[in-house]
Amino acid sequence: MWDAPGIVGLPDDREEPRVIEFDAVHKEYPDGTVAVERFSLIVPSHRVVALVGSSGSGKTTLLRMVNRMVDPSSGTVSIDGVDVRSMDRVKLRRSIGYVLQAGGLLPHRSVADNVATVPVLEGRSRRQARADALGLLERVGLDTALADRYPAQLSGGQQQRVGVARALAADPNILLMDEPFGAVDPIVRDQLQAEMRALQADIGKTIVFVTHDIGEAFALGDEVVVLRTGAEIAQQGAPAEILANPADDFVASFVGAGTAQRTLRIRQVDGRDVVVDGDGRPTGVLER
């Protein structure tokens, strides 16, 4: 299934390192608001890093620094050691996939044309790009019959899938996702997260995504970075580490550790181990 055109043909890309490094980036707006205060982080190649925090934590600003939608006031963002400020904005953006909340689709273009956006901007023929787009639609679990519809004619979940397909169309090595599944209902969100994990297992991109939903961060991130106001790192680590050892009260309350929802116990029912949450409500069965 993964021989969708447009993605195959550059098999070596996956072996290339794609490390994103934030080095003491600082962002202050003209009105004096400090969005990001001296933030440093290394995003390792082929890994998924989740930046999680509430609004005002500067997480989206950080994400936008990578493709130069926002330039830091000081400090540098580099990709494989090259400062992004030395790269052309437009070319840089075309080389990085970007998924926005609700897909961020262009409402006046059909689904296939949306997916084909970047390849066409890069000079590929529209017909070829559209043909490739059909493969990508299948890849993200969409019926190719939707190709000629307009975004407003799709459900929220479908739009989100198109958004992912568009981000993958130019076969970027890096994927940025801004609250990628924030606009859909919980059931669809769970499904999309599961598919995203399977997709990532296949394509192994370097992915940075931001979310305010700690559950989503744990579901998708290889590594999770919990942010306070001004993008101050409260804790950083694998999901299990953060759950097991929250660094402080802020992180503990953010991840909900110790609250009813996160604390699970095992209770014997009819000879099986039933897992219950802090309120004693069953959430599943334990398999040994």
Partner 1 sequence: MNWLSQNLHIVGQLLADHLFLSIPPILLSLLISVPLGRLAAGSPRLRTPLLTGTGLLYAIPSLPLFIIIPALFGFSLRSPATMITALTLYGCALLVRGAADAFSSVPQDVRLAAAATGHSRWGLFWTVELPLAGPVLLSSLRVVTVSTVSLVTVGAVIGISSLGTLFTDGFQRNIDASIVTGIVLTVVVAFALDALCVLAARWAMPWQRAVSRA
Partner 2 sequence: MNLLIEAVQWLLDPANWGEPNALGMRILEHLAFSGAVVLVAAAIGIPVGTLIGHTGRGRGAIIAITSGARALPTLGLLTIFGLWLGIGLEAPFLALLVLALPPVLAGAYAGVESVDRATVGAARAIGLTERQILTGVELPLAAPVIVGGLRSAALQVISTATLAAYISDTGLGRPLFLGLKTQQYEMMLGASILVALLALIVELCFQLVQSAAARRAEPQNGRQHRAHSGARERIEA
* Closer residue to partner 1 (CB): 114 or 193: 114
Instruction: For the CB of residue 66, give the shortest distance to partner 2 in the complex, in Å.
Output: 13
Instruction: For the CB of residue 122, give the shortest distance to partner 1 in the complex, in Å.
Output: 8
Which stretch, 107-115, 135-143, 220-228, 249-257, contacts partner 1 (CB under 8 A)? 107-115
* Closer residue to partner 2 (CB): 28 or 138: 28
Query: What Rg value do the Cα atoms of the chain yield, rounded?
Result: 20
Q: Which of 152, 187, 279, 280 binds partner 1 (CB under 8 A)?
A: 152
Which stretch, 17-25, 29-37, 149-157, 251-259, contacts partner 1 (CB under 8 A)? 149-157
Q: Is 108 in the site for partner 1 (CB under 8 A)?
A: yes
* Closer residue to partner 2 (CB): 2 or 29: 29
Q: Which does 33 bind (CB under 5 to 8 A by kind): partner 2, partner 1, none?
A: partner 2
Burial 259-286 (b: 16+ CB within 10 A, else e): eeeeeeeeeeeeeeeeebbeeeeeeeee
Cβ–Cβ < 8 Å for 33, 230:
no
Dihedral sign for Cα atoms in the order 245, 191, 181, 202: positive
* Closer residue to partner 2 (CB): 36 or 165: 36
Token pair recorded at residue 24: 């003491």
Instruction: For the CB of residue 112, give the shortest distance to partner 1 in the complex, in Å.
Output: 13
**175-214: which residues touch partner 1 (CB under 8 A)?**
176
Beta-strand pair 48-52/206-211 = parallel
Q: Which does 70 bind (CB under 5 to 8 A by kind): partner 1, partner 2, none?
A: partner 2
* Closer residue to partner 2 (CB): 121 or 194: 121
**47-86: which residues touch partner 2 (CB under 8 A)?**
61, 64, 68-71
Q: Which does 187 bind (CB under 5 to 8 A by kind): partner 2, partner 1, none?
A: none
21, 56, 64, 96, 159 from 73: Cα distances, Å: 16, 17, 13, 22, 34
Instruction: For the CB of residue 156, give the shortest distance to partner 2 in the complex, in Å.
Output: 24
Q: Which of 38, 85, 149, 212 binds partner 1 (CB under 8 A)?
A: 149
The side-by-side arrangement of strands in the sheet containing 206-211 is: 96-99, 174-178, 206-211, 48-52, 223-228, 232-237
Site residues for partner 2 per CB under 8 A: 29, 31, 33, 35, 61, 64, 68-71, 89
Site residues for partner 1 per CB under 8 A: 67, 69, 90-95, 98, 100-110, 117-118, 121, 149-150, 152-153, 166, 176
